[in-house]
Each structure stands twice: as structure tokens, then as C-alpha cells.
Amino acid sequence: MGQYLLNRSLQSLIVLFGVSAIVFYSLHLTGDPAALMLPPDASREEIDRFRQAMGFDDPILVQHVRYLAGVLQGDLGTSLRFQRPALELVLERLPATALLAVVAMAWSTALGFVFGVVGAVRRDTAVDLIVRVIALSGQAVPVFWLGLLLIIVFALRLGWLPTSGYGDLEHLVLPAITLGAYYMSAVTRLVRANLIEALAQDYVRTARAKGLSAWRIVIRHGLRNALIPVVTVQGMYFAALLGGALITEIIFAWPGIGRLAVQAIQNRDFPLVQAVVLFAAVVFVVANLLVDIAYAILNPRIRLS
């Protein structure tokens, strides 16, 4: 176990280095943001002076080494736009995004389970088909389409909920529905497939032969087996949501990491872009590591190797 953890941690470090290098070079090899940071009437000399002060005229390798040295000391650089430490800005937005992601995943997982179980138990029937089409519609409408539709219907026409913003519970409802819809489809599909698989196992057939009702079999034997792959994927989804909820956050004016990322990219705020991507990657890597360990504990048949 210790050896395994060491290996995995080493691998994770390599991955993180790779991620940061890719982002660093794709940003820096395409020009610097000096002109973007200054007012439009800035002269060429003023732009050059600013560029020099920010260190953008050093060779790119020097800049990369300087960046890595900073990262090793926990310094992800200072945002050009905010003039504040980039990591601090990311962490400041974390609670809003995490709240949204957790609530979105909670309802989508719950509903996905229900749909998935119904689909699996009544598989290959019209009921199964209808349930799947309903679940799939969560994936079939683009996020912004769904978001705007919800705003128009529930906030503007019916006046039940606020149109956008962050704060009370009522602000959370529409964005959470919007963000979770896609994952609801995914969970439905996953639960259905795994449950069908589990129900085809020999011991389940035996149970059925003994006369246990279909629902009891599903609950007793099927769900536990279907749970593990769902948990595995949830870890990855959660990580993806932290950086990937940007469209939902834009539509609902939600002050999260995704919106920070879009603004950072639009402003070519290099240190901030790097910090956001690196943060998302760290969450992803750690989530995967935890899932793998949990998996090994849940399922002793799998040896860590």
C-alpha cells in the first residue's frame, strides 16, 4: 500500500507538471497581454515599458523556470488584472462553485439512480425507452439553452425564483438544475448498464430462482454492485464541475471559479489562467487517487498494482 501510494503520488506530480507546462506554453507562445492591460491611448513606449516590468520580454524558458520555482514555494503568481495572488482569488471563488457542484451532483445522482433502476428492471421495454429519453433530454439541450429557458419561465414569467445571483437558497435552485441535467443523464446510463450487468450474474439468478421478488433482488444485490462504478465516476465529474461549470456560472451570474477562468482567459491574465487550470487538475488528480483507494478497500479482489 505504501509503495503504491508513493508511485501514484509520483505519477500525479508528473501529470500536474505536464498540465502546467501545456498551459504555460500555449499561453506564452502566442503573445503577451501588455497591450490589453493598458488603456487604448497608451503609446508604444508605454506598452514596452509595461511588458518589461512584467517580465514578458525574458526568454520563455527563463519565464517557465521562474514560474515553476514560484509554484514549488506555493506562489502561483500575481493576477495581472486583480493585482492579487492568483491562488487566493481561486480559493475565494471555491465555496460558490463547490456549493453549486455538490447540490447539482446530489439531485442528479438521486434522480439518475431512480431512472437507472427503473430502466434496468424494466429493461428493453417501452417504459425503459421512455425513461431513457427523459433522462437523455438532460444531455440533449445545451446548458445555456436550458438555463435561459428556466430563467424565462420560473423567474420572469412565474416570478417564483430570482433570475440570477448568489446568496440565498432560492438563488441556488435554477443553476443547480441547469448544471445537474447533463450529469443526470450520465448517471442514469451508468446505473442502468451496471445494474443490468449485475442482475445477469449467477447468484442473482439463483436468488430469483428461489422466488425473491425482482425489487428485493435489485435492492439487495444489484444496487451495491452498481454503486461502485458510479462512485468512481462521481469523483471525476466533481473535479470536472469545479472548472467546467463556467457556462452555468455566466448565465446565472454565479461568482464561481468557472467565471473567474473565462475572465482570466479573456483578459489573458496568464498567472490566473494557470492557477485555475492547475487547481482544477489538482482536484482531479486527488479525487482520482481517493477513488482508487476507496475502490481497493471496497473491493478486495482488486489488488493495487
Of residues 145-204, which lie at the interface with other proteins (CB under 8 A)? 145, 148, 151-152, 155-156, 159, 162-166, 182, 189-190, 193-194, 196-197, 200
The CA distance from 287 to 201, in Å, is 30
Q: How far is the CB of 71 from other proteins (least distance, A)?
A: 15
Phi, psi (rounded to 5 degrees) for 162: -70, 150
What mask of x and - would describe binding to other proteins in positions 65 to 84, judged by CB under 8 A? ----------------xxxx
CA dihedral 121, 126, 130, 136 (to 10 degrees): 70
Q: How far is the CB of 243 from other proteins (least distance, A)?
A: 4
Interface pick for other proteins out of 112, 116, 235, 244 (rule CB under 8 A) = 244
- Subset of residues 25 to 44 that bind other proteins, contact rule: CB under 8 A: 26-27, 30-33, 35-44
Q: Which is nearer to other proteins, 40 or 300 (CB)?
A: 40
- Subset of residues 274 to 293 that bind other proteins, contact rule: CB under 8 A: 276-277, 280-281, 284-285
Interface region with other proteins, contact rule CB under 8 A, candidates 98-106, 108-116, 206-214, 234-242: 234-242
Q: How far is the CB of 297 from other proteins (least distance, A)?
A: 21
Q: How far is the CB of 275 from other proteins (least distance, A)?
A: 12
With binding defined as CB under 8 A, does residue 304 bind other proteins?
A: no
Task: Using the CB atoms, write b or e for 76-110: b if 16+ within 10 Å.
Answer: bbbbbbbeebbbebbeebeebbbbbbebbbebbbe
Interface pick for other proteins out of 176, 261, 275, 291 (rule CB under 8 A) = 261
Interface pick for other proteins out of 100, 101, 143, 275 (rule CB under 8 A) = 143
Interface region with other proteins, contact rule CB under 8 A, candidates 60-68, 106-114, 265-273, 297-305: 265-273
- Subset of residues 98 to 137 that bind other proteins, contact rule: CB under 8 A: 123-126, 128-129, 132-133, 136-137
With binding defined as CB under 8 A, does residue 55 bind other proteins?
A: no
With binding defined as CB under 8 A, does residue 47 bind other proteins?
A: yes
Q: Which is nearer to other proteins, 103 or 270 (CB)?
A: 270
Number of shown-chain residues binding other proteins (CB under 8 A):
105
